[in-house]
Homo-oligomer: A and B are copies of this chain.
């Protein structure tokens, strides 16, 4: 059954961005990835975007078009091909959906609470709350730009999900900080 192995997920993520039908340069793709992908997948390095694009092109899933020969600067704009659309659909339909992977340094450090002590751990949670606020503000911006454009209904759903997630995290961090306070007041046992 000549099954070709899947490309790395990040390839499909980038191909997916291109599936919204606009022609994009590597640079633009990176910008969009930073404003969307980064919240639930990764923010690929600039250089990685270019290597990924090269691979996609090698596979015929995207096509580059030289843009602005004379006068303006020459750049390469990439567009998804029919084969690319087909392969993206194949991947979405037939390849197994992995369970989310969470790399959560705050949770890891909380886990090690006995080493850092309750004050330091609580402080970390409070700092986390602040960062969460900043990240949330960025995402609010992104969500606002999507508006209710039906072409971006799905991205809007994901953004809403992300917003709710940040709210959940803030609630948890606050609760856990409070719990550390309570434990500190009444230390080992009654």
What is A's interface to B at a CB cutoff of 8 Å? 9, 12-13, 16, 19-20, 36-37, 39-42, 85, 88-89, 92-93, 97-116, 120-121, 124, 127-128, 131, 135, 150-151, 153-155, 157-158, 161-162, 164-165, 168-169, 172, 176, 179, 183, 188-189
Decide if A120 touches B100 in the complex (CB within 8 Å).
no
A16 contacts B112, CB within 8 Å? yes
Given A105-B97, A106-B100, A92 and B111 touching (CB < 8 A)? no
Q: Is there contact, CB below 8 Å, between A111 and B154?
A: yes
Beta-carbon contact of A161 and B176 below 8 Å? yes
Known A41-B102, A93-B120, A150-B189; further 4 A-B contacts with Cβ < 8 A: A19-B115, A40-B102, A41-B104, A103-B103
* Complex: A157 Cα to B161 Cα, angstroms: 24
Instruction: Please state if B172 and A113 are interface contacts (CB–CB under 8 Å).
Output: no
Q: Which of B39, B97, B124, B168 contacts A97 (CB 8 A)?
A: B124
Q: In the complex, which residues of chain B have a beta carbon less than 8 angstroms from the beta carbon of A113?
A: 153-154, 157
**Hey, which chain B residues are within 8 Å of A88, CB to CB?**
112, 115
Determine how many copies of this chain the complex contains.
2
Top 5 nearest A-B pairs (CB, nearest first) are A113-B154, A40-B107, A40-B104, A101-B103, A100-B104
Which residue of chain B lies nearest to A98 when distances are taken between CB atoms in the complex? Answer: B105
Asked if A111 and B189 make an inter-chain contact with CB atoms under 8 angstroms apart, the answer reads no
Evaluate contact between A97 and B128: CB separation under 8 angstroms.
Answer: yes
Contact B188 A111 (CB under 8 A): no
Residues in B with CB closer than 8 Å to A188 are 150
Report the nearest B residue to A103, measured CB to CB.
Answer: B101
B106 and A97 form a contact (CB under 8 A): yes
Q: Which residue of B lies closest to A131 (CB)?
A: B99
Complexed CA–CA distance, A93 and B183 (Å): 20
Q: State whether B158 touches A107 (Cβ < 8 A).
A: yes
